[in-house]
Structure 1
Amino acid sequence: MIDFTPVRRRHKSMQQFALSFSRDDFRRWTKESVERFLALLDSCQDETITFVPADPQANDPYAADPADQHLAWTLGHVIVHATASAEEYAASGAELARGVPFHGRPRYELPWQDITSVAQCRQRLMESRRIRLASLEMWPDQPHLDLGYVPWEESGWVNAQGIFAWGLAHDDDHYRQAAGILAQWSASVPAQL
Structure 2
Amino acid sequence: MLDYAALYRRERTIQQLVDGLTIADLHAETDEMYDTVERLIADCTDADVTFQPVDPKAHDPFASDPNAVNQAWTLGHVIVHLTASCEESAFLAAEMARGVPFHGRSRYEVPWETVTTMAQVRQRLAESRRMLHASLNMWPDHPHLDYIVEPWPGAPPVDARGRFVLGLAHAYDHLGQIAEIVRQAKASAHS
TM tier, smaller: over 0.9
Aligned to 1:108: 108
Distance 1:61 1:154 in 2: 20
Superposition map of 1:39-188 within 5 A? 39-153=39-153, 155-188=155-188
Q: 1:112 & 1:126 partners in 2: Cα distance?
A: 16
Go from structure 1 to structure 2 and tell me whether the alpha carbon gap of 1:115 and 1:8 turns closer, same or farther (over 3 Å shift). same
- 1:154 is displaced (CA, Å) by 5.3
The aligned counterpart of 1:2 is 2
Report the AA paired with residue 137 of structure 2. E
Q: Structure 1 length as normaliser, TM-score?
A: 0.94
Paired residues in the alignment total 191
Q: Residues of 2 paired with 1:55 and 1:63: CA distance?
A: 16
Letter in 2 for 1:128: S
Cα displacement (A) at 1:170: 1.0
Three-state SS of the structure 1 residue aligned to 2:190 is helix
Structure 2 unpaired stretches of 5+ = none
Deviation per CA, 1:89-144: give whole Å up to 9, x if none: 00000000000011101000000000000000000000000000000011111111
Following superposition, the deviation at residue 17 of structure 1 comes to 1.8
- Counterpart for residue 189 of structure 2: 189
Structure 1 residue 86, shift from structure 2 partner: 0.1
Q: Partner amino acid for 2:71?
A: L
Structure 1 residues without counterparts, runs of 5 or longer? none
Contact 1:14 1:155 in 2 (8 A): no
CA offsets, 1:26-68, max 9 Å, x none?
A: 1011111111222222211100000010011101122233332
Task: Give the alignment's TM-score, normalised by structure 2.
Answer: 0.95
What is the aligned-residue RMSD (CA, Å)? 1.3
State the match for 2:32 in structure 1. 32
Instruction: Name the amino acid aligned to 2:156.
Output: G
Q: Give the partner amino acid of 1:109.
A: E
CA distance in structure 2 between the partners assigned to 1:108 and 1:33 by the alignment: 20
For residues 29 and 82 of structure 2, what CA distance do their matches in structure 1 show?
Answer: 15
Counterpart-to-counterpart distance in 2, 1:45 and 1:19: 40
Percent identity of equivalent pairs: 50
The letter for the 2-side match of 1:130 is R
